[in-house]
Amino acid sequence: MRIPQPRAGLALGPLAAPFLDPATDTGRSNSDGVTKADPIRITGTCQAGDLVKVYDLDTYLGASGSCNGGTFAINVAGAPEGLRVIGVTATRNGLETARSPGAFVLIDRTAPAAPTLLLPPLPDSSRITVSGTAEADADVTVLAGTQAFCGARAAANGQWSCTGDLNGQNTLTATATDVAGNTSVPSAPAQIDLSPLAKPSLDPATDIGRSNSDGITNANPIRITGTCRVGDVVKAYDADAFLNASTACSGGSFSFELAGLGEGQYTIGVSATRAGLETARSVGVPVLIDRTPPAAPTLLLPRAFDGPAFAVSGTAEADADVVGLAGAQPFCSARAAANGQWNCSGELAGQAELSASATDAAGNASESSAPVQVVWDRVFGNGFDG
């Protein structure tokens, strides 16, 4: 009697281990089995007529497909996150094989938290190194504005850093992308501070004339000072016009000389260039440069003299400080009014040669007026000879 032999085509051995289709193996690698895809696509080899079912260990994943030309390709939707061990069975002639060896598929559809992003405190160049923390092993991508800036892979402790060029952008953001390709929301923006510097000052030592704080001066050069941040390059402007003067911030302050400025009214503001980016200009400090002396004042003697004070008057440049001189000695002083009128009185020690000079607010002194000889006689009355 012949013993029946199994027919080769009906063997019920398990199928070979299946594969995760590279097209659904998302993220850093399309062959690492780490994916966020849904559905995932499982492929493998089979025998004609097989009905192939997909399992996660013992759990049927609700997905099956027929063998087509010795292969199958089955979409599995809704596979839960986590490590799946994907095996397949073939059902032939009503009998289901044992499960194939499994393929490991790590399903991760959870985005990392947004990374943190720190700027260097005092960048002095447009090329800067940024750093922060992110999910371990995530790929961090930093944008400057909308342009790629730099990228890094977070270490096991989450630390990352990378270096890029700002290319004129001052706002950086970072995202983290995990191995499966899930990308975080962007970090809070980190900005290079481009707010203007504080209004600068005219150094009192070069604020010549009536006041060392009125901004009216005849100095050349003048000196401008102010505060800044270490790393800044400070530039001086008159309104919109660059004054061709710049200096490095030193210890939080700057000071530079502006030589050869022509006479006139200036509004001197400053900008800071940091990380290759220039701030808007500060509020400007007004400076009036006046190097023109007033004309010599006129000097009129009194019509009568009843002593002891001797009163003189005249006209001078409006607002000028007039000094009455007896010889070389001041004996009185006055400020010329807006219409130029001035008068003052002082005691004279007898015969004198009187003159006057005027000094403007910027400190420019006029020539002296033509001297007038005064002689009077205290014994014989209050008259005088001019």
Pick 173 or 217: Cβ nearer Ca ion: 217
What tokens appear for 45 in the block? 């080899």
User: Which residues from 95-134 bind Ca ion, rule CB under 5 A?
Assistant: 108, 110
The string over 32-47, giving b where at least 16 C-beta atoms fall within 10 Å of a residue's C-beta and e elsewhere, is bbbbbbbebbbbbbbe
Nearest partner of 47 among 94, 91, 101, judged by Cα: 91
CB of 85 to Ca ion, least distance (A): 17
Other Cβ atoms closer than 10 A to 123:
20
SS3 58: coil
- Using the rule CB under 5 A, is 21 a contact of Ca ion? no
Interface residue with Ca ion among 12, 14, 32, 47 (CB under 5 A) is: 32
Pick 106 or 301: Cβ nearer Ca ion: 106
Pick 207 or 232: Cβ nearer Ca ion: 207
Interface residue with Ca ion among 50, 178, 232, 321 (CB under 5 A) is: 178
CB of 86 to Ca ion, least distance (A): 14
CB of 195 to Ca ion, least distance (A): 30
Pick 80 or 383: Cβ nearer Ca ion: 80
Q: What are phi and psi of 98, to 5 degrees?
A: -65, 165
Q: Using CA atoms, how far apart are residues 282 and 148, in angstroms rounded to an integer?
A: 31
Number of residues that bind Ca ion (CB under 5 A): 19
User: Which residues from 334-373 bind Ca ion, rule CB under 5 A?
Assistant: 360, 364
What tokens appear for 54 in the block? 């997909």
Pick 209 or 226: Cβ nearer Ca ion: 209
Pick 50 or 290: Cβ nearer Ca ion: 290
Omega prior to 308 cis, within 30 of 0: yes
User: What is the x/- site pattern for Ca ion, positions 48-87, by CB under 5 A?
Assistant: ----------------------------------------
Other Cβ atoms closer than 10 A to 363:
19
What tokens appear for 325 in the block? 């001189």
Q: Do 58 and 73 meet the contact criterion of CB atoms below 8 Å apart?
A: no
- Using the rule CB under 5 A, is 321 a contact of Ca ion? no
CB of 7 to Ca ion, least distance (A): 41
SS3 334: strand
- Using the rule CB under 5 A, is 25 a contact of Ca ion? yes
Q: Using CA atoms, how far apart are residues 126 and 145, in angstroms rounded to an integer?
A: 14
**DSSP track, 168-193:** T--EEEEEEE-TT--BPPPPPPEE--
- Using the rule CB under 5 A, is 203 a contact of Ca ion? no
CB of 132 to Ca ion, least distance (A): 18
What tokens appear for 266 in the block? 């200036």
Q: Using CA atoms, how far apart are residues 92 and 98, in angstroms rounded to an integer?
A: 12
Pick 195 or 292: Cβ nearer Ca ion: 292
Q: Do 307 and 328 meet the contact criterion of CB atoms below 8 Å apart?
A: no
CB of 274 to Ca ion, least distance (A): 32
Pick 326 or 334: Cβ nearer Ca ion: 334
Q: Using CA atoms, how far apart are residues 179 and 157, in angstroms rounded to an integer?
A: 16
Pick 32 or 165: Cβ nearer Ca ion: 32
- Using the rule CB under 5 A, is 292 a contact of Ca ion? yes
**Contact positions vs Ca ion (CB under 5 A):** 25, 27, 29, 32, 34, 108, 110, 178, 182, 207, 209, 211, 214, 216-217, 290, 292, 360, 364
